[in-house]
Amino acid sequence: MTSPATLDWRTRVVITLGSWLIHALGTTWRVQVHGRQALLARAPEASRVVFTLWHGQLLPLLWAHRQPTAAMISEHKDGDILARLVETFGFFSVRGSSSRGGTRVLLEAVQVLKRGADIAITPDGPRGPRYSFAPGALVLAHRASAPVVSMVAHVDRKWQLRSWDGFEIPKPFARVTIEYGEPVTLDDPDVRTAAARTEEFAQRMREALARVEVLAGERARA
């Protein structure tokens, strides 16, 4: 977890103000969630899951999820800021990525899952390209024998940053529609075979995003 001492006071003030603003905005959002009931009803001893979500949809998904979950966050300075922000949603961070601290963070993440916590990964983060699917989430799920569950969001009114991920900030009173995918267990014979399925899982998330857009449209017409 990031220590406050690693960030200068100006950055800490910005994070605090940003957290207040996000929570103020979030209380106005009209959120509808699909496919989460089975996850909430799991017994404590049930298998934990690896959540995959697009980097640009972090804000609405973190707000809708808000339950104790580990988040894999890169070790560079931007990651320090994000780690502090996700803590305000009830998450805790596991620091590292496939390019920095890859082996260490993978081992740590496996232990997090085995100790009984879910973990969330943005397969197109931290630098993109947008909607790409790096194999790290699948490698982790295979090694920990944990199912993979996708999370996607549709926001009807939003600000969208001109960043590589098209980061989305729902506007006040926006309709936010969330879908959790069905858990997928990786029963591949080895890690390399599991990692080769990245395009399959990227397509699953694209299809889920299309479904959630349809659901959002039906909700708007209702």
Domain boundaries, the chain: 4-221
Do residues 177 and 152 lie in contact, with contact meaning Cβ atoms separated by under 8 Å?
no
Q: What is the pLDDT of residue 81?
A: 82
pLDDT at 101: 47
**Residue 35: predicted pLDDT:** 94
User: Can you give the pLDDT at residue 74?
Assistant: 77
Q: How far is CA 1 from CA 71, 112, 122, 169, in A?
A: 10, 13, 18, 25
Helices then strands (H, E): number in the chain?
Answer: 8, 9
Query: What is the bridge-based pairing of β-strands 50-53 and 148-155?
Result: parallel
Q: So what's the pLDDT on residue 102?
A: 63
The pTM of this model reads 0.90
pLDDT, position 3: 45
Which pLDDT tens digits describe the chain residue by residue (222 residues)?
Answer: 444 446 788 888 888 898 899 999 999 999 999 999 999 999 888 889 999 999 999 999 999 998 889 998 877 667 788 888 888 888 988 887 654 546 778 889 999 999 999 999 999 988 889 999 999 999 999 999 999 999 999 999 999 999 999 999 999 999 999 999 999 999 999 999 999 999 999 999 999 999 999 988 887 776
pLDDT of amino acid 168: 97
The percent of residues above 70 in pLDDT, for the chain, comes to 93
C-alpha to C-alpha distance for 155 and 161, rounded to whole angstroms: 14
| Angle at which helices 77-87 and 9-26 cross, to 10° | 40
- DSSP assignment of 121-137 equals E-TTTTT--TT---THH
Q: pLDDT digits over 30-87, tens only?
A: 999 999 999 999 988 888 999 999 999 999 999 999 888 999 887 766 778 888 888 8
Residue 1 is predicted with a pLDDT of: 43
What radius of gyration, in Å, describes the C-alpha atoms of the chain? Answer: 17
Residue type, 55: H
Q: Provide φ and ψ at 217, rounded to 5°.
A: -65, -40
CATH no., domain 4-221? 3.40.1010.10
